Structure 1
Amino acid sequence: MTAGSLREDANAGWLVPHAWTDGGVVVQAAPNGAGVLHVAVALCVLNDTYREARDRGVDVAGVRVSARGEFDQETWQSTGVSYAVEVDSPSPATDVSALMAHVDSVAEIPRALRAGMTVERTHG
Structure 2
Amino acid sequence: MADQPTADFPVTLTAGTLMPEDADGWVVPHAWTDRGVLVQAAPNGAGVLHVAVALCVLNDVYREGEALGVPVRGVRVAARGEFDTESWVSTGITYAVDVDSTAPGDTMAKLVARVDEVAEIPRVLRAGMSVERDVG
Tell me the TM-score normalised to structure 2 length.
0.88
1:61 is aligned to 73
Say which one has the larger Rg.
2
Higher helix share: 1
SS in 1 for 2:80: strand
Higher relative contact order (CA 8 A, sep 6+): 2
CA-CA distance at 1:119 after TM superposition? 0.6
2:112 is aligned to 100
Question: Which of 71, 83, 86 is the aligned partner of 1:71?
Answer: 83
2:95 is aligned to 83
CA-CA distance at 1:10 after TM superposition? 6.1
Gaps of 5+ in 1: none
- AA in 1 matched with 2:40: Q
2:27 is aligned to 15
Aligned equivalents of 1:22, 1:77: Cα separation in 2: 37
Q: What CA deviation, in whole Å up to 9, does each residue of 1:65-96 have, x standing for no partner?
A: 01000011222111000000000000111111
SS in 2 for 1:12: coil
Percent of aligned pairs with the same residue?
68
Gaps of 5+ in 2: 1-12
Aligned equivalents of 2:31, 2:15: Cα separation in 1: 11
Tell me the TM-score normalised to structure 1 length.
0.96
1:29 is aligned to 41
Divergent runs of 4+, >6 A: none
- AA in 2 matched with 1:52: E
- AA in 2 matched with 1:22: D
